[in-house]
Amino acid sequence: MSNAVNYRLKGDIGIIEISNPPVNATSHAVRKGLLAALENAEQEANAALIVGAGRTFIAGADISEFGKPPKKPGLPDICNRIEASPIPIVASLHGTALGGGLEVALAAHYRVAVPTAKVGLPEVTLGIIPGAGGTQRLPRLIGAEAALGIITSGRHVPINEAYQVGLVDQISDGTPEENGLAFIHDLLSKGHGPRPVSGIPAPKPVDFDAWHAKTLKSGKGQIAPATAVRAVEAASTLSFLDGLKRERELFTELMASPQREGLIHAFFAERAVSKLPELKGIDPREIAKVGVIGGGTMGSGIATACLVAGLDITLIERDAQSAEAARTKVETFLKAAIKRGKLSEDAFAKITSTTFRTATEYTALAEADLVIEAVFEDMDVKKSVFATLDSICKPEAVLATNTSYLDVNEIAAATSRPQSVIGLHFFSPAHVMKLLEVVVADATSAETTATAFTFAKRLRKTAVRAGVCDGFIGNRILAYYRTALDNMVLDGASPYQIDKALTAFGMAMGPFAVSDLAGLDIGWATRKRKAATRDPRARIPTFADRLCEMGRFGQKTGRGFYIYEEGKRGGIKDPEVEEIIAKERAALGITPRSFTEEDIQRRFLGALINEAARVLADGIARRPLDIDVTLLYGYGFPRWRGGPMKWADIAGLSGILSDIRTFAAEDAYFWSPAPLLEHLVAEGRTFEDLNKEHTS
Ligand code: 3HC
Ligand code: NAI
């Protein structure tokens, strides 16, 4: 028998223990082992118990096997085999029983669980549907409506809720083995035998078309959740065996889809970002007390994120009035966290009385383990803050800047300890957005970097390593594709048409709506700052300057590219903006032309991929997957496309390069192809090849 599954007889009960760390995924070895263990149990035992070794039951099929040729026995065969067993089979759950793991449990005749267990069928989050009977057995067990809720969302269901809908038979304290054995002894004493879920009558139909339409709409381009509705429908309209066949057909279709490839790439990429070879064996410093300097938009959000994570926070502002304003902002965010169930009333009371304080003197930071600066985006102000920190903070403190664009090396040089200085680039709103760019400067020590990654984990944020340049990974790429979009507006597209084309591609928001949210004054200030050094060949989006001159800074002033009405969500189009743009075009002597949705998407993606290739070549991002995660978590790139680099691999790099060369005919300066992209195309390689080079 394989080591992935241990089998032993205890009294008259066969214990089948899955042991495939870290999460007992049903790899080929586990499937073979399960089959062999079952055969043994049937020969010598009166009942069998399936448990997971270590921290969990089974977290699902082995995702790393997806896309490879399937190896027999498949998980559906195993599940059918378990269900058909002549002896009663009990699954005892702890940790998580997800995907194929829950399907194994559903194939068993009874299910017990510890109070902390969670169950779920998260397949749709990977671009597939449950493929080992989950869409047929779960609706039989708990009804179509409840099953649809679980399967189309992919959420992890707390065990109490699962018990209430009848998914598990019993919740007990104790080890999974003790719980399972006690349940079986009781079962045998009462003379109960196997109880296959497939024998339960088909679930009553619900309005499957309405579920399909609703799921398709909320999926924003994602197909798996809506496909799952059709599979559950089959449970209600077909026989059990035909339903299984239908599930397999839909599962196989999705398995071959680019969405599955994109989502699985995203799953592994988000876990790979924090694995940096230089941090192997490096211990992070302890972080308990954190200082935040500046309590504006970012500082108040950063302080909130730290407080929710249980850290002690001292926030420094320029004067008592600004400090009070910052305190009010943080408390408002914390109260919102209570409403969302992220913070308890008790924790709020403790924070406001004990762990959160504001101050106006930097000396209050003498004991801080980490200080995060979030003052105005001005190099002189930042340097003076860091020089002060250098004189006040303890030697082992980590000093971080939240700058969006400024040179972290220059900021570090204002201190006598550049090895302890790092960029921690949060995204707005900082207490909500998951991304944290960790900007490693020339002198930053590995210990400081390791501390930053551990700190990010504590805040439940996804940290990506970036190098120093104007805008790091994300904002540098954004600035470039944004220029391509502004140029299209100059040439005839409307901002509304561009926003529509890019949300149709799957972006969470249109880029012009995003600018309105962030404030148009930010881009205006950057254009002014860079005016003196701007290349004369670069085109200038004069229409954006005109809007700012009119005080149209976006949502905060009620008008930007869109008009924002009090109490209404989202903005409405403004014909005046189109007139202003038309005037600017005329003043520049441009005859407007039309762009199709596809034209807009191709230029957006061409610009994005071109600059991303330069960011890679410059070493600002080490691997394409770091760019994917940055754009997925910080810029609303659709997860089901895997991230821009994965999308580019799937779409084909040569087509993208050929687009860029075509666009270069009208603007050779902007559209000069990135040499790395040219090399990859010439050599027939992909961004995924570069990911592999870095992990091998
Ligand atoms: N297959 C292969 N590897 C898996 C895996 C799986 N199903 N689930 C997790 N892993 C790996 C991770 O890649 C990670 O590897 P690493 O240490 O080398 O980076 C390791 O296990 C630990 O995972 P996490 O870091 O995510 O650990 P957490 O404790 O934070 O989370 C978890 C545990 C909640 C189980 C989380 O890993 C998870 O959500 N896993 C995916 C669950 C899932 O989607 N299951 C459905 C699979 S599809 C399926 O079953 C199809 C079936 O219907 C036929
Ligand atoms: P903001 O203007 O809202 O807040 C800055 C705060 O710093 C003000 O409250 C000000 O009183 C305070 N301040 C200024 N000098 C100070 C000093 N010497 N000591 C103590 N407090 C001082 O600015 P915002 O938007 O919060 O930006 C802060 C930093 O974060 C900037 O570097 C910005 O580039 C960066 N950032 C901003 C993002 C955004 O979306 N707003 C996103 C990511 C980074």
* 605-615 b/e (C-beta count within 10 Å ≥ 16 → b): bbbbbbbbbbb
For the sheet with 96-98, list strands across it: 96-98, 118-120, 157-158
Q: Is the CB of 317 under 6 A from ligand 2?
A: yes
Question: Residue 358 is inside which H or E element, if any?
Answer: strand 356-359
Kindly give the distance from the C-alpha atom of residue 298 to the centroid of ligand 2, in angstroms, as a whole number: 6
* 59 Cβ neighbours under 8 A, 6+ residues apart: 23, 24, 25, 95, 96, 98, 99, 101
pLDDT at residue number 472: 98
pLDDT at residue number 40: 97
Instruction: Report whether pLDDT(124) > 60.
Output: yes
- Extract the tokens encoding 254: 């999705």
Q: Is the CB of 120 under 6 A from ligand 1?
A: no
Ligand nearest the Cα of residue 105 is 1
Kindly give the distance from the C-alpha atom of residue 230 to the centroid of ligand 1, in angstroms, as a whole number: 26
Q: Is the CB of 61 under 6 A from ligand 1?
A: yes
Question: Residue 48 is inside which H or E element, if any?
Answer: strand 47-52
Which of the residues 123, 233, 611, 688 is marked catalytic? 123
Ligand nearest the Cα of residue 384 is 2
Kindly give the distance from the C-alpha atom of residue 96 to the centroid of ligand 1, in angstroms, as a whole number: 10
Q: Is the CB of 299 under 6 A from ligand 2?
A: yes
Question: Residue 164 is inside which H or E element, if any?
Answer: helix 159-164
Q: Is the CB of 515 under 6 A from ligand 2?
A: no
Q: Is the CB of 97 under 6 A from ligand 1?
A: no
Contact 273, 265 (CB under 8 A): no
Query: 103 an active-site residue?
Result: yes
Other CB atoms within 10 Å distance of the CB of residue 622: 20
Closest residue by Cα to atom 20, ligand 1, is 22
Cα–Cα distances (Å) from 430 to 34, 89, 303, 679, in that order, read 46, 49, 9, 38
* 371, 378, 404, 436: residue to mutate for ligand 2 pocket, most atoms within 8 A of CB: 404
Residue the block writes with tokens 């194939």: 107
Contact 267, 63 (CB under 8 A): yes
Q: How confident is the model at residue 530 (pLDDT cuts 50, 70, 90)?
A: confident
**Mean pLDDT, the chain, whole residue set:** 96
Q: Is the CB of 270 under 6 A from ligand 1?
A: no
* 321 Cβ neighbours under 8 A, 6+ residues apart: none
Kindly give the distance from the C-alpha atom of residue 299 to the centroid of ligand 2, in angstroms, as a whole number: 7
In percent, how much of the chain has pLDDT > 90? Answer: 94
What is the mean predicted confidence (pLDDT) over 527-555?
A: 92
Query: 233 an active-site residue?
Result: no
Collapsing DSSP to helix, strand or coil, 314 comes out as strand
Q: Which of ligand 2's atoms lies nearest the C-alpha of 325?
A: 9
pLDDT at residue number 696: 60
Radius of gyration of the chain (CA): 28
Residue the block writes with tokens 């921290």: 55
Contact 292, 306 (CB under 8 A): yes
pLDDT at residue number 2: 56
Instruction: Report whether pLDDT(378) > 80.
Output: yes
Q: Which of ligand 2's atoms lies nearest the C-alpha of 360?
A: 20
Instruction: Report whether pLDDT(21) > 60.
Output: yes
Instruction: Please tell me the distance from the alpha carbon of residue 508 to that of residue 511, in angstroms, as a whole number.
Output: 9
Tell me the pLDDT tens digit for each residue of 302-351. Answer: 999 999 999 999 999 999 999 999 999 999 999 999 999 999 999 999 99
